[in-house]
Structure formats: C-alpha cells, structure tokens
Amino acid sequence: MVSNVLGLLIGAEIDRDEGGEGIAGALEGYLIEGAVKAVAPLVVTFVIGWGIQFLARRAFATMTGDTATGSRAP
C-alpha cells in the first residue's frame, strides 16, 4: 500500500482540479499505478529484445554483404 501512495496523491489532486472530491481520483491513480508497474517490465523486455534482434540482423547483413536483409520478396 505504501508503494502506491504516489499514485493515490496524484490521482486525488487531478480529481480535485477537475472539481471532484478526490476519492475517485485517488482510486484511479492507485489502479493506474498498479497497471503501470505490471506492464512496464514487459515493455522493457520487448524493447531490449527488439534492439538485440535489430543489431543481430544488421551485423549479419554487414558480414554477408546482404543489402536486402529483412525484405520479404515473393
């Protein structure tokens, strides 16, 4: 619970700025922060994997002299 205090505070403040009581915004902030914590590691893993694949293809193309690496010619 303590780790989600930032999400609670930010959500409550946004809700107050929009004219609400802050409770609904605090709940939304709590849920969004939890979702971000769950999705962020997946996104980072995807980006690292994509970068490694990109660099491997580039290195292979450089070593073989292939200029059409990655193209899907019929």
Which pLDDT score is estimated for 32? 79
Q: pTM, whole model, 2 decimals? A: 0.55
Delimit the domains of the chain by residue range: 2-64
SS (H, E, C) 22-50: CHHHHHHHHHHHHHHHHHHHHHHHHHHHH
Which pLDDT score is estimated for 3? 65
Q: What is the mean pLDDT of residues 11-22?
A: 71
Which pLDDT score is estimated for 55? 93
State pLDDT tens for residues 46-73.
999 999 999 999 898 888 887 665 555 4
Q: What is the mean pLDDT of residues 7-18?
A: 72
What six digits make up the tokens of 65? 């002299």
Indicate the helix (H) or strand (E) that contains 8.
Answer: helix 5-17
